[in-house]
Structure 1
Amino acid sequence: MSQKLKLAGACLNQTPIDWANNLRNIKNAIDDAKKEGVDILCLPELCITGYGCEDLFLSQWLPTTALEKLDEIIPHTSGIAISVGLPIRIEGKNYNTTAFIADKQVKGFYAKQKLANDGVHYEPRWFTPWSAGKVDSFEFEGKSIPFGHITIEHKGLNIAFEICEDAWQPDRPCEHLKTKIDLILNPSASHFAFGKSEFREELVIKSSNQFDCVYLYCNLLGNEAGRMIYDGDVLIAQKGKLIGRNHRLWYHDYRLLTVEVDFEKNTATENIKPHYSNRNEEFSHAAGLALFDYCRKSRSKGFVLSLSGGADSSTIATLIGFAVRTALEQRGKPGLEKVLGFQLTGDTPEEITKQLLTTAYQATKNSSDATFNSAKNLAESLGATFYNWQIDAEVNEYRSTIEEAIERKLTWEQDDITLQNIQARTRAPIIWMLANLENKLLMATSNRSEGDVGYATMDGDTSGSISPIAGVDKHFILQWLKYAEHELGFTGLKDVNALTPTAELRPEDQHQTDEEDLMPYEALMRIEREAILHGRSPKQVYEALKADFNSDQLKDWIKKFYQLWTRNQWKRERYAPSFHFDDFNIDPRSWYRFPILSGGYMEELNTML
């Protein structure tokens, strides 16, 4: 056995079927690894095609093209061994595999056994699980290559494999191996969620102890396909001890982590980078990276935002400012221009934000000076372009038209929702014009709490190309804004944080607030988690929360939640794509599916009451 070997994992920021980008990142990572004297390099799951190809995996041509691209990678492996992920189609069935290549020779293909089929994952739709212990052969380049549940002997090491979900499920593939394993490679596409990195790190450490080996885990990086964010984790553990950890959520195309391991003495040169320690840090970096990637991969010129001065739109503006600041720190202006595909006119974060972020305050007679000043001061502090205009004339035109048609006047006593919604909807066409003029992404501003209960106007504040905060609740947003002001240095949030959340759609003398319309945001968040994440009935939610809230109020809030949840599923079906941040979300296209028409929990609510 070789006494010392250099091991490395490289996280890659890939894009589905962006062959040039994907292969460039793979080849650059290999080249950097060779410069550092790496012996074995692990690359992420399905990194040749991109993990998020979805139903493209069912096509005939995609797996064929992936093999052609694998053939382009092989010549770059002179003097190094790599594990690289791709789909392979055999007799009409797709397999999620990683190819092990050593010094330009394909030594084998490992096929994934445990397919992710929960939450945001639907792998069984596209792939067939491989059977434990089964090894076949696959014809590639005129040679018969071992395929399936393989192990590889390389430089005196016995090397085994697991692909992502293989390690997260009982009856793991490595538990079926009869021989002593020295190294396990785990190429993964493990989506970001709050706190998940700690669980993942614990899994890698325990796995290295369980199998008495070195365990190398490597994840994707960035917003790959639109909704999922990958944090770029590279983790290496040796016999129950962490010896390597990558920087997460960085803005680079790829990032290498290298550790030198002495397999005879069971020692290693540790390379452990700092990590983010709380949800506020994780949200800032994950959301910022997701927005940055979404902008560049959609080939847009930046962002347009209807900035109301309230919490939601201010959160999005601040996240964009944070993304610009972080990208500039990490890539520099030339690197930023290269990846965005256009020239930047400024040099500072504020100057670049002015070019990339256009905001507008769209006032009605129900808008207040407080929210105008909040929006204006925040935009100026970020450097964003700021417009403001009145929409009363347009609102009045719509109102007079319908009043003439129905032959009566609209009143707040009789037509409250109608009069609120027309204001929100009237803002949408104008802000869309601005986004079209500047070829920028329009940001929808709904949060997850609003999505729960439909507290949003369709074709109004839900209008947009993407809904970046629809994956987090309002209770979290309100405390994050204070963190961003005091810890991230966004002092322009001072006025925002002094405001009480309000839609500002009713006349000022009605003193409208969000929590008065709905319920306290903390209660809404707690009910949501019990009802949606844990799947509990109204009565079960009440039993879980009754010790923490007034009994009668809690019953009213639970009733309101379930009634509004049921009534507004059609809205959730229409929301713009959102990012996945939490351990659950309410997007029916990526996590929680609910019938548009249902009995509305009527019997269950009556039982609780």
Structure 2
Amino acid sequence: LLRELVRAARDQGVSLLCLPEMCLTGYMLEDLVQWPQVTERAWESLEALAEDTGETAVFAGLPVRVGGLLYNGLALLWKGKVRGVTLKRFLPSYSVFYEGRNFTPWRGRETVEVKGRPAGDLLYRLPFGDVAAQICEDAWVWPQENLSLLLQAEILCNASASPFSLFKPDLRRRVIQSTAERMICQHVFSNLVGLDSARLVFDGGAMVAGPQGIAAEGPLLHPEPWKLVTAVVDLDEITRLRSENTTFREAYSAQRENGRVGEVLDLRGEGEGRFLPPTEYPLPETGSFFLEGGDRRGGGPGAVEEALDQLLDALVLGVRDYFHKAGVFRKFLVALSGGRDSALALLAAARGAALLPGPGSPKEKVARHVEARYLSGPFSSAATLEAARGLCAELGVPFARVSIEKEFDLARSALEEMAGGTPPSPLALQNAQARIRGAMMLGWANTVGGLILVTSNLSEVAVGYFTTGGDNQGGFSPLADIPKTLISRMLERAAKRWGVESLEKILELAPSAELAPDQTDEGDLMPYEVLDDILYLYALKKLRPDEILGVLEAKHPRAGKERLQAWLERFLFLFDANQWKREQSPVALKLLYLDLDPKTGFRYPVLKGDRKKGK
């Protein structure tokens, strides 16, 4: 069965396979392990199994003898050879376990030999990455003497023989996931399945966990003799996360000072490794990279709804607390455009106001503490006006339409005069409308003691699609950390969860700043779905442009490579060119892992060399 499993993994192009603890002999050997032929036959089976490995590196568990003492071992097999044996450090001798009766715990700082191979604490430098292993109980003990070695591993494999008991799988999952988060690594867990020695039922449940969630997980208590659970992982991301994380770097340096433990086996010269092209980058099952991570487990719509609910609740809580704890505002003020961003900002303000302390019902608090204005310009549409009016009516928010057309005409004439008779450019006229609105909102806030909610989203912030001195003017920017595609999904969820029917009309409208005839956001930029994918892959994952293009080709095949290349180059240029705008943004709420706020999580040079062609 093991050879069948190894061949299946090899044929599927698996780079690393982790088999369970004691898989060659069974876990519950009891005193049978004292017979010398048991370890001898196990080693013979190990060498036979190695013949089937090819380019697939395989960990396999077995008992081994060192100087007459028995150890619980985990051997690495690769390209037909046994390369080394990791020895178990912590032997459970409680409950149903009594490994200490026969096995010796490994406590050495140097390595020993088993059949001429190094044994002890080992790190393998393989062509695809650095790999270390633990055996079952070793994953439950923290910290360990060999931590300096383990912290070098990009992939940490845990081979287990963990028997089933009610609720234990959930506990085990938490341990595996927390190790991946704490050590910033890919953590691979394997387990026996089925009845062993008449008493213990092993439940399987193999998984691959990364710092941001479970990447793959196998079924529990499956009747088949084995299940191959695979995941594609990005080891460059491990390198990036570790380099960005000061706590990890400090912990690693501290452990290095404790001295060398174990041995590093460099096998990189013996192969090239199997690296998938960018077109094979794992695509999000949810449709959005920003909704991946955490414990998705293929949870489908329920898991997505839970994530969106958390975002909505965090948004409402953040808006309410900023208003309340500042202690200087009497009203939330929103420039309501009839579009998605201002609709979500108004919804957060209304629900936040309803939760404010003080007298009155929730409806009375909303009417007292929230107001909205539709500042219509020469290109505003009846559709957005009615959408804005309908949302305010449903939420119980005082609403009024105020025209800026007279002010715009004056501004256009003044701009032409300032330019010596040259008519203002189309961009200048668009920005003039935004700045008039911004000035009017600030004046209104001064008059009524209001907190202006800025409605720019993360996608706009990334590419500078907002007007300095215009729609970025205000006291708090609650949406600046939420990409446009996620805002749309949050509104869809809010409409369903809270029964806000007027949101449906807003979601039917194409996103537009309405600053020019027939203008749309996506016409000015690119499809938001593509923009947000590039934003995630470039700003968060730090992929190279050529890698991003490969992912885009896989996710958006109908767009065509040439168009995707043009959109990518445009994004990269705009991202670099607009850091000066981001430096002037108001205080923003942080809700996602990615943060472009220069005051908190994103330090980026304003001047950045050659910006041509998205280099």
TM-score by length of 1: 0.50
Report the alpha carbon displacement of residue 433 of structure 1 after superposing the two structures with TM: 1.7
Name the structure 1 match of 2:439.
429
2:312 maps to amino acid: S
- Provide the C-alpha distance between the structure 1 equivalents of 2:343 and 2:614, rounded to a whole number of angstroms: 38
Gaps of 5+ in 1: 1-131, 134-164, 172-194, 203-273, 328-335, 338-342
From 530, 541, 561, give the equivalent of 1:551: 561
1:525 counterpart = 2:532 = yes
- Provide the C-alpha distance between the structure 2 equivalents of 1:275 and 1:352, rounded to a whole number of angstroms: 33
1:502 counterpart = 2:502 = no
User: In the alignment, is the contact (CA less than 8 A) between 2:434 and 2:471 conserved in 1?
Assistant: yes
The structure having more radius of gyration, on CA atoms, is 2
1:403 counterpart = 2:416 = yes
Name the structure 1 match of 2:407.
394
Name the structure 2 match of 1:307.
336
1:596/1:448 Cα in 2 relative to 1: closer, same or farther (>3 Å)? same
2:371 maps to amino acid: T
- Provide the C-alpha distance between the structure 2 equivalents of 1:564 and 1:529, rounded to a whole number of angstroms: 15
- Provide the C-alpha distance between the structure 2 equivalents of 1:537 and 1:574, rounded to a whole number of angstroms: 28
Report the alpha carbon displacement of residue 604 of structure 1 after superposing the two structures with TM: 6.0
CA deviation profile, 1:550-570 (whole Å, cap 9, x unmatched) = 211110110100011111111
- Provide the C-alpha distance between the structure 2 equivalents of 1:391 and 1:604, rounded to a whole number of angstroms: 37
User: In the alignment, is the contact (CA less than 8 A) between 1:567 and 1:600 conserved in 2?
Assistant: no
1:540 counterpart = 2:547 = yes
From 457, 461, 480, give the equivalent of 1:447: 457
Map 1:84-95 onto structure 2 (within 5 A).
none
Report the alpha carbon displacement of residue 319 of structure 1 after superposing the two structures with TM: 1.5
Gaps of 5+ in 2: 1-142, 145-177, 185-209, 218-301
- Provide the C-alpha distance between the structure 2 equivalents of 1:401 and 1:384, rounded to a whole number of angstroms: 36
From 314, 321, 345, give the equivalent of 1:316: 345
User: In the alignment, is the contact (CA less than 8 A) between 2:530 and 2:552 conserved in 1?
Assistant: no
Map 1:309-388 onto structure 2 (within 5 A).
309-325=338-354, 327=355, 336-337=356-357, 343-344=358-359, 346-347=360-361, 349-388=362-401
- Provide the C-alpha distance between the structure 2 equivalents of 1:197 and 1:555, rounded to a whole number of angstroms: 29
The SS at the match of 1:389 is strand
1:356/1:166 Cα in 2 relative to 1: closer, same or farther (>3 Å)? farther
1:279 counterpart = 2:307 = yes
1:383/1:197 Cα in 2 relative to 1: closer, same or farther (>3 Å)? farther
2:419 maps to amino acid: I
Q: Which has the higher contact order (CA 8 A, sep 6+)?
A: 1
- Provide the C-alpha distance between the structure 2 equivalents of 1:446 and 1:577, rounded to a whole number of angstroms: 12
- Provide the C-alpha distance between the structure 2 equivalents of 1:493 and 1:574, rounded to a whole number of angstroms: 31
Name the structure 1 match of 2:497.
487
From 486, 490, 506, give the equivalent of 1:476: 486
- Provide the C-alpha distance between the structure 1 equivalents of 2:211 and 2:317, rounded to a whole number of angstroms: 17
CA deviation profile, 1:295-330 (whole Å, cap 9, x unmatched) = 1110122311111111110110112223344x3xxx
User: In the alignment, is the contact (CA less than 8 A) between 1:308 and 1:361 conserved in 2?
Assistant: yes
- Provide the C-alpha distance between the structure 2 equivalents of 1:526 and 1:467, rounded to a whole number of angstroms: 22
1:293 counterpart = 2:300 = no
Report the alpha carbon displacement of residue 495 of structure 1 after superposing the two structures with TM: 2.0
The SS at the match of 1:358 is strand
State, as a whole percentage, how many aligned pairs show the same letter: 32
- Provide the C-alpha distance between the structure 1 equivalents of 2:180 and 2:457, rounded to a whole number of angstroms: 33
2:436 maps to amino acid: T
User: In the alignment, is the contact (CA less than 8 A) between 2:181 and 2:211 conserved in 1?
Assistant: no
- Provide the C-alpha distance between the structure 2 equivalents of 1:365 and 1:322, rounded to a whole number of angstroms: 32
2:486 maps to amino acid: F
- Provide the C-alpha distance between the structure 1 equivalents of 2:500 and 2:410, rounded to a whole number of angstroms: 39
1:569/1:316 Cα in 2 relative to 1: closer, same or farther (>3 Å)? same
TM-score by length of 2: 0.50
- Provide the C-alpha distance between the structure 2 equivalents of 1:586 and 1:525, rounded to a whole number of angstroms: 13
1:516 maps to amino acid: G
1:536/1:430 Cα in 2 relative to 1: closer, same or farther (>3 Å)? same
- Provide the C-alpha distance between the structure 2 equivalents of 1:513 and 1:427, rounded to a whole number of angstroms: 19
